[in-house]
Structure 1
Amino acid sequence: MLTPKLYSIALLSIQYITSHLIQAMFNMASLNNVNSAHVQPLISGNIPLLNLFFPGLASATSILPLLTGASSIYGRLFCICALLLLVGKYVSETIVGILETYFITKVEIPHNDVAYDMLMSWVSSRPFAKKARTSLVTVDLKSSTRSNSSDSDANKKSLHFSPCNGYFYFRHKGNLFAFKRSRSQVEFGHTREEVCVSYFGWNATVLRELLDECRQYYLKQVKNKTCVFDHEGNRWKNSKARNKRDVSTVIVNEKVKEMLLGDVAEFLDPETREWYTARGLPYQRGYLLYGPPGTGKSSLGLSIAGHFDLDVYVLTMSSLNDESLKALFAELPQRCIVLLEDIDAVAVHRSQEDNADPSQNGSTRKSTDGKVTLSTLLNVLDGVGSPEGRVVIMTTNYIQRLDPALIRPGRVDIKVELQLADKSMLSHLFFFVFGRQSPSSGASAEKQVSKDEEMLKLAEEFAAKVPKGQFSPAEIMSLLLVHRLSPLQAIADVDAWMRKIGEER
């Protein structure tokens, strides 16, 4: 029986040795027959035509004159070896082609698809990946966050290995598979990665079961995480998976938070979708979070995604043009959050001739400087071809800079203002930092209640010393984290801290 190792060795040996030795054979044979210029090829004029039907025939027949007319036995020997290797090369390619055509089932996975992350996550955990002779080595920066152990030299910046560039054979549940990973050059000097998995058999169900196992493994890895997607050209790619942030840890106005969560929950309800569909209304929802810097706009958007178990697709429109923006929106899934951060700072331009309503015929106008035009942005948000089921969250520090057409009702359904810290938020921030006991401390319930009551009093004292509406939650948090082990010191230093912030402003 042809084992994976023997198959791999035979295939690689033939391809590698042939490509290097044939040229050497010709060179040495030519040197030994330098005086045999009178020998003519046996076949001449018909070689180009025959070569179309029998690839390599021209190279093979060019050896025959050297073989018959060589004066040296070494020249003939080299010619015979070269001919055998040449024939072996094409025989092996023919056999491989027949196997791939009639006896092998194969799937290809795009490198910028989520299925690629699912497959590579599973492959990297398999024994054959660790034994691969050609590997892609990266620093696993996430290992320390997944482990509960101390940050010792043993687990700090551990190395992550995955198979790279070549065929890798493995057995799984009694079936033989081949994993191929390669890179190819594309336009502008960029590389494109190609990944495929082959199964030595006709039953495609075996491959689908393997990929489903990869999917289940991946979902376990990203459980309690929020997948954040970035864009690469005109395609989405999974850039990172963040730990889900509980909405209770985002300190904003509680009434605003409850209203926003309730509205998103109602929109995602299956009955709501049926209601929209029955009335022919586009099933879309848009929100604008605005307010001073540091008030928690982006944090609130990510916590909403984690709360409803939605993926986040982040658009950086300064690196996009009209065509790429439309292509990215066309590939959005039905249930997701599209996050447009700092929409006021994005290079969105209204065309010079765009003096009418941008929503009318706006898709026909193009940007002259390679940036996203306002008309195209408006069209992808609520145009005829805009995807349904997604939640768009836009954030801005300066709502007055936004074009009224961008935030009109229908594109932005709810505008939420996040303000600077008031007395209630100041107390919540203080208690959030100092009032939560670590589960590993072993403190009794009575002691925990007593400490919480003490922290509530200190939180009120802290809130009384800080004027409301003067500092952002992010600024307050920076002070509290400096003194995270000493709540009394945080209260004592708050006056000096406020003077310092005032001088910096």
Structure 2
Amino acid sequence: MTSVGGHVAPSSTVVEAATDLGAQHGLVSSAWSHLKSNPYFSAGAGLYTLTIAAVVGRYAFKMFTSNARRKFVVSMETTNRDPSYDWLMQWLSRHPTFSFQQISVMTTNVMIHANEETTSHCTFAPCPNIPHWFLHRGWPMVVYRKRQVERAAGSDVLETIEMYTMGLSSHVMKDIVAEAKMQAVTRDSDKTVIYQNAGGRWTRVQEPRSRRPLSSVILDKNSREEILEDVRLFLQSRGYYQELGVPYRRGFLLHGPPGCGKSSLVMALAGELRLAICLLSLSNRALDDESLMSLLNTAPMRSIVLMEDIDRAFSHDSRVTMSGILNALDGVGAQEGRIVFMTTNHVERLDAALIRPGRADVKVEIGYVSHTQASQLFAKFYPSSSHRVREAFADALPEFRLSVAQIQSHLFLHRNSAEEAVRTMPAFVRQCDAFEEQLDKAREKERKLAKLKAPPLLPFQQ
């Protein structure tokens, strides 16, 4: 070893380090050779080491891919229980770059004509359980429509839509939902959207109805305009109700004979005020008190909850109780901002607690056609007719004897001739009276037969 000034020469240090490294390498190589030749290491320890290394490597890879997916992949999911599902399905079917070979057909607005001919509207959507790819404004998108085996409440199959793309922000997905919603709003802007209860949730009727003009509903006096102004004022009075500390709810009861325009009035009000209609069937066997409360609390805010033929709701098959519907209408957990319309043909059969103020704030009788209504109905069907002909038609019709539906059926039959409609009106009235008389006789006969079939009363029961 050579030293200069007490220091080891660099060249000697490098040589010495190399010699030591070679010696160590020789020792490692020798140890590894001994391990490989060791039968215990080859039989167990080596495989164990390799297994651990494989598990650690697989876990590290999964962590890497999971973090990369969380960081660089944007995803969105919705189910068919949410309104956005229908928005996205319609949006996908209209997207210019979304071309797919595996399709699913959704048919709506089916109309059956003569000779078994039908017309319908078909929406072609991506087939479920298969990934689909397309481009949206330069972004690569993946759509996966998943259909689950279990069923949702009611009879609808539970489905989900999952969308994926590459990116660092979710603004792409939010823009898609906003665009799909705008398309749906534009498409339904001149329509009345209708919901039905399927068990304990609302399902939208696929094809919305055309808005019915309020002028098409002919009521006696000024009741049509009064109800319209009442509903319009209620929609503008949330703050007023809150200042008074009064529950922000409004209930209407429309009663009268069948066919006089109760349901038609609700449809026209919804069209005039651009509200949705939620048809609530209390006779649905999947409906109980708990699901009724959930339905009324989850109804869309700008909607009318319509409960038709409320007097027939509490049948033997119904699971809804009177206390359940009373609590749902104005109990502690009842929803604010709700408009409820109840209709009945027999108001005398309703419990007084159901139609008291707070549950039925406004009660309107919609009865048989008056003289003024008859003249207005005739003018609607024959706008070019003279005042003399309209009055002749109204004079030929007995006041408060026929419903709007009956008179409209007669005017439809003679829609090509106003004079013929006036001339044949007396015969039509006699025909209606004869039918009602036969119907009353048949009902009386049924009552007598039912009384004869009833078991006789025992002395202590009399």
TM-score category of the 2 structures, normalised to the smaller one: 0.7 to 0.9
Please give the alpha-carbon distance, in whole angstroms, between the structure 1 residues aligned to 2:261 and 2:373.
Answer: 12
Please give the alpha-carbon distance, in whole angstroms, between the structure 2 residues aligned to 1:158 and 1:283.
Answer: 40
Q: 1:227 aligns with which of 193, 201, 204?
A: 193
What's the CA shift for 1:334?
2.9
What's the CA shift for 1:187?
5.0
What is the identity, as a one-letter code, of the residue corresponding to 2:335? P
Please give the alpha-carbon distance, in whole angstroms, between the structure 2 residues aligned to 1:413 and 1:141.
Answer: 36
Q: Deviations over 1:46-98 (max 9, x none)?
A: 99xx99x969xxxxxxxxxxxxxxxxxxxxxxxxxxxxxxx9xx999999866
Aligned to 1:164: 127
Q: Map 1:50-449 onto structure 2 (within 5 A).
A: 100-129=69-98, 131-141=99-109, 156-157=119-120, 159-165=122-128, 166-186=130-150, 191-239=157-205, 240-269=207-236, 272-319=237-284, 320-347=287-314, 371-435=319-383
Q: Deviations over 1:234-281 (max 9, x none)?
A: 221111411111111111124111211111111111xx2111111211
Please give the alpha-carbon distance, in whole angstroms, between the structure 2 residues aligned to 1:169 and 1:303.
Answer: 44
What is the identity, as a one-letter code, of the residue corresponding to 2:190? N
Please give the alpha-carbon distance, in whole angstroms, between the structure 1 residues aligned to 2:63 and 2:431.
Answer: 77
Please give the alpha-carbon distance, in whole angstroms, between the structure 2 residues aligned to 1:95 and 1:192.
Answer: 33
CA change 1:159–1:273 in 2 (3 A) is closer
RMSD of the TM alignment (CA)? 3.2
Please give the alpha-carbon distance, in whole angstroms, between the structure 2 residues aligned to 1:198 and 1:324.
Answer: 35
CA change 1:212–1:498 in 2 (3 A) is same
SS in 2 for 1:217: helix
8 Å contact 2:90–2:123 — kept in the other structure?
Answer: no
- Structure 1: give runs of 5+ residues left out of the alignment: 1-41, 56-86, 145-153, 350-368, 436-451
What's the CA shift for 1:101?
3.2
Q: Deviations over 1:204-230 (max 9, x none)?
A: 111111110111111111011111111
Please give the alpha-carbon distance, in whole angstroms, between the structure 2 residues aligned to 1:327 and 1:277.
Answer: 23
Report the TM-score, using the length of structure 1 for normalisation.
0.69
Please give the alpha-carbon distance, in whole angstroms, between the structure 2 residues aligned to 1:375 and 1:294.
Answer: 30
Q: Give the ranges of 4+ consecutive aligned residues of structure 1 lying more than 6 Å apart after TM superposition.
A: 90-96
What's the CA shift for 1:457?
2.5
Q: Deviations over 1:444-492 (max 9, x none)?
A: xxxxxxxx3x343322111111101010001101111112122222222
8 Å contact 1:177–1:198 — kept in the other structure?
Answer: yes
Report the TM-score, using the length of structure 2 for normalisation.
0.75
Please give the alpha-carbon distance, in whole angstroms, between the structure 2 residues aligned to 1:122 and 1:428.
Answer: 44
Please give the alpha-carbon distance, in whole angstroms, between the structure 2 residues aligned to 1:429 and 1:475.
Answer: 12
Count of equivalent residues: 380
Please give the alpha-carbon distance, in whole angstroms, between the structure 1 residues aligned to 2:307 and 2:268.
Answer: 15
What's the CA shift for 1:429?
0.8
CA change 1:398–1:121 in 2 (3 A) is same
8 Å contact 1:348–1:373 — kept in the other structure?
Answer: no
8 Å contact 2:151–2:158 — kept in the other structure?
Answer: no
What is the identity, as a one-letter code, of the residue corresponding to 2:391? E
User: What percent identity do the matched residue pairs reach?
Assistant: 34
Please give the alpha-carbon distance, in whole angstroms, between the structure 2 residues aligned to 1:92 and 1:216.
Answer: 42
- Structure 2: give runs of 5+ residues left out of the alignment: 1-42, 437-462
